[in-house]
Amino acid sequence: MSDNSRLICEIVDLIHDGRGVGRPDGKTCFIEGALPGETVEFRRHNQKRNYDEAHVLEVISASESRIQPQCKHFPRCGGCTVQHLEHGAQVSFKEKQLLDSLERSGMQPKTLLPALSGPQWAYRRRARLAVQRAKDGNVLVGFHNPGSRRIEPITECHVLARTSRGYCGGTA
């Protein structure tokens, strides 16, 4: 069930898949494309008993950590979920996700080392690409759209390392 009304809320957190967390009217809403500290206008596309799912229509007040994604396939491609978040903030987000996961498992690290971070681009040597023959006979190579079995054909991937034969994990 979806609600066509346009709503506004402030984003207070991110969840593991990169969606922003807002609480319009007190009910948790996971909003695709939103970052913490932002005020966004959004539309719900899925309502559950305990939470709603939505997507951003407009960023009213942007986070200082928001950047323009380098990839032309973002956000349709499911390969990167937080490319609109500045690199340092991405590292902090991933570190927080790890610590939250450990805490939920009843573990508390005695010592926390600084996060290891490599280059922002061309760091991935492996990826699970989807391949499918389209109805017109062409072969589609890409990632699945978020929450879908549909393949987003890609012509480039900035996170996959380049080799003399193309991108690691296949040619795109």
Asked if 83 and 123 count as a contact pair (C-beta separation under 8 A), the reply is: no
Q: Please, where are the H alpha helices in the chain?
A: 87-104
What is the per-residue pLDDT for 28? 97
- What percentage of the chain carries pLDDT values higher than 70? 93
Q: Which residue has the tokens 């966004």?
A: 40
What is the per-residue pLDDT for 126? 85
- Neighbouring CB atoms inside 10 A of 128's CB total 8
Q: Place 4 in a pLDDT band, splitting at 50, 70 and 90.
A: confident
Q: Model confidence over 40-99: pLDDT tens digits?
A: 999 999 999 999 999 999 999 999 999 999 999 887 887 788 999 999 999 999 999 999
Which CATH architecture does the domain made up of 6-61 adopt? Beta Barrel (2.40)
Q: Domain-by-domain residue ranges, the chain?
A: 6-61
- Residue 14's Cβ-count burial label (10 Å; 0-12, 13-18, 19+) is buried
Q: Which of 119, 117, 118, 143 is nearest to 130 (CA)?
A: 143
- Neighbouring CB atoms inside 10 A of 121's CB total 14
Asked if 149 and 131 count as a contact pair (C-beta separation under 8 A), the reply is: no
Q: For 27-36, 50-59, 84-93, 156-165, which range has the lowest pLDDT when averaged over its residues?
A: 156-165
Q: Place 166 in a pLDDT band, splitting at 50, 70 and 90.
A: low
